[in-house]
Amino acid sequence: MIHINLLPVRDIIRRNKAKRQIILSVAAWLCFLIMLSSFGVYQANTIAGLQKTYSDLQAEKQKYTKILNQIKNIEEEKKILLTRIEVIKQLKQSSSLTVHILDEVAILTPPHRMWLTRLNQTGSDLKISGMALDNQTVAKYMDDLENSLYIQNVNLVSASMEKFAERDLKLFSISCSVGMPANEKK
């Protein structure tokens, strides 16, 4: 017996292939969308984590900024204190310098041959005025001052004769510079 298949087999196979292709295409698109959305969720989580890390770092930076500002303030105060200490040291040196200068001038002034009438110190300049019996006394006094550790650059500013108590006395004026010896500047 002969069987005749009246069913359109080729059309059914073609339709089944088309259905499979549509289902596979839809499934591929769904997989693509799922992968895309999961990648988006991953990126969103990464961004959220990075933003949290950024905000934590900003907070830590603010904390360290306060500490750095405190350090800067302390350093500025330290500079001010060091400047004050240096000024105090200079004042101590200056006060001891004046004492040493007065001592040197008193020791080097020859008794009964010379009298000082004025002693004026301004900064590192010293001016000495007085009366002496003769020029040799003034010259020896200037040499003695020049040999002093605290007095340098001794110069005779003026010298003149004047009668005082019926004697001819030599009026003189000396200028010099003063300073601490190198071995005492500490």
Q: Where are the domains positioned within the chain?
A: 109-184
Q: Are 172 and 145 in contact (CB under 8 A)?
A: no
The per-residue pLDDT for 6 is 67
Reduce the secondary structure of 70-119 to three states and give it as a string. HHHHHHHHHHHHHHHHHHHHHHHHHHHHHHHHHHHHHHHCCCCCEEEEEE
Tell me how crowded residue 114 is: count the other CB atoms within 10 A of its CB. 20
The per-residue pLDDT for 5 is 64
Q: Are 149 and 161 in contact (CB under 8 A)?
A: no
The CATH T-level fold of domain 109-184 is Gyrase A; domain 2 (3.30.1360)
Instruction: Indicate the average pLDDT of the chain.
Output: 88
The per-residue pLDDT for 20 is 94
Position 24, amino acid: L
Query: pTM for the full model?
Result: 0.52
* Residue ranges in the chain whose pLDDT is less than 70: 1, 4-7, 182-186
The per-residue pLDDT for 128 is 93
